[in-house]
Structure 1
Amino acid sequence: MSFVFEPTPTVSLPVVGQPERFPVRRVYCVGRNYEEHAKEMGFTGREPPFFFLKPADSLVVVEAGQTGGMPYPSLTKNLHHEIELVVAIGVGGKNIQAADADKHIYGYAVGLDMTRRDLQNEMKKQGRPWCIGKAFDESGPIGPITRKEQAGDVNNAEISLQVNGVDRQRSTVAKLIWNIAETIEHLSTAWELQPGDLIFTGTPEGVAAVVQGDQLVGQVAGLGSLTIDIQK
C-alpha cells in the first residue's frame, strides 16, 4: 500500500517493566466525574456521565523518570490543570457490563487534562462544541502505563497534583461519581471500545490556572508521578 504522503507515526506509551509500548487508538475523557469538582463547576448531583475526546496526537508522552514539557498554548489567558487517572483498554468490547469491565483493562497511567478554560466557557455560553478548550495540541500530558496486575488498589488510590511544590488537588479515586467499571459500561454503550483506547476518568476539586514557568507534579498512588514544566 502506498500513500500520498508519509503517515503520522502511531502514538504510543511506555509500559512499566517491559520493552513493548502501548499503541494509542482513541482518547476518551469523562466530564465532571468527582462530586466536589462538579460543585466547583456549578453542578450538583449524580448526573449521567458524559464524554468528550482528545486526538491521540494531543498527548504529551513523558517517559518514566523524566520531566515533560508543555508549551503554554495559544489563544488562552486561563490555562487550567486537571489531574486524572487514565485507564488503558487492552480488550475491546461493546455493551460491557460493569461486572465484566476489569477483563477489558490493560493498565493505568497518570494524566493531565489541560484546559483552555476561558475558551471552553465561551463555547458553553454560545451552546457550541468546546473542543477548542479541551482538544488542542499538547493538551494531554501522560506518563507510563502500569499493568493492572502491578497497580495495586487503584479504585481507592490517592490522586494529587502539586504546582511548584504546593498542593492544588488531592482526593481519592474512590470519590469518582461513576467508578471505573461503571464508566466503562456507560462508554461502551456509545462506542465500541478497542485495544489501545485510553479513558481519562475525571478530575477532583482544586482545578486552577497555571502560567509559564510552573512545574506540575501529578500522582496516583501505585502509578508513580508525572512531572510537566509549562514552557514559554
Structure 2
Amino acid sequence: MKSFLALAILLCSLSGLSQNLSSEALLDNAINYHDPNGNWEHFNKTFTVVMTTPKAPKRTSVISINLPAEYFNVTATKDTVTTTYTLDKGKCQMQYNGKVLDSLKAKDKNMTCDRATLYKNYYSYLYGLPMKLKDAGTNLSDTVEKKTFKGKDYLVLKVTYDEAIGSDVWYFYFNPKTYAMEIYQFFKTDEHGKEKPDSGEYILLSEETLLNDIKIPKVRAWYYNKADKYLGTDTLIEE
C-alpha cells in the first residue's frame, strides 16, 4: 500500500512538472534527448532517403550535409532521371544525369540555384529538428500545451517565425516521458496571420537511427490536415 501511494505521489509530481514546464525547458529537454552531446552544429554526414507516394515511382535521394564546411549536396533519382544540386560555400552547381549544366541548360530542365537553396534549407531543417528551433527568427510560444493526437498524449510546442523566414504556424509534439519528438504539424495563415484550419500537413515520426550520434527519426509519414489524406513516406536508409 505504501509503495502504491509513493508511486501515485511521484506520478502526480511528474504530471505537475509537465504542466508547469516552460517552452524553453521543453525544447531543451527535447534537444537533450535527440542531441545530448551538442553534435548538430558539427553535423557532417551523408545519408539516403527513399520517398514513396501513392501511384508514383519512388524517389531515392542521397543527401550530404556538412555544416562546418558550408557544404550541401543532394542527388535524387526517379525513374531514369538523376538530378544533383550542390552548394559549396554558397557556390551553386547543378547536374542532370551526371552532366554539369550551365544556368541556361539548367533552366530548360527546370533546375535553378534557388531550388538548390530550397533543398538545402528543407533537409537541414527537417533533419536538424528539434535543434533548429534554437535558430534566430524562431519564436516559441509562451506556454506548453497538452494535447491528445490519435489517442496519445503529448506536450506540444507552438512555433512561429519572423516574417522574413515564413508565415506558417508549426506545432511540435513531444513524448511527455522521454521528450522524444514524435509528430510535427503546420498550418498556413491568412492575410491577418490567422491559421487556416483545413490547410497544411502533419508528419508522423517513427523508429530512430543515429547520425553523428544524434537520434534521427527513420520514417516520416506525411498527411494533409484536411481529412487526414495520406501524402507519402520518407524513409531514411541506413548504410
Structure 1 and Structure 2 fold alike (TM over 0.5): no
Q: Which has the higher contact order (CA 8 A, sep 6+)?
A: 1
Structure number with greater Rg is 2
State the TM-score, normalized to the length of structure 1.
0.25
State the TM-score, normalized to the length of structure 2.
0.24
Structure in which a larger fraction of residues adopt strand: 2
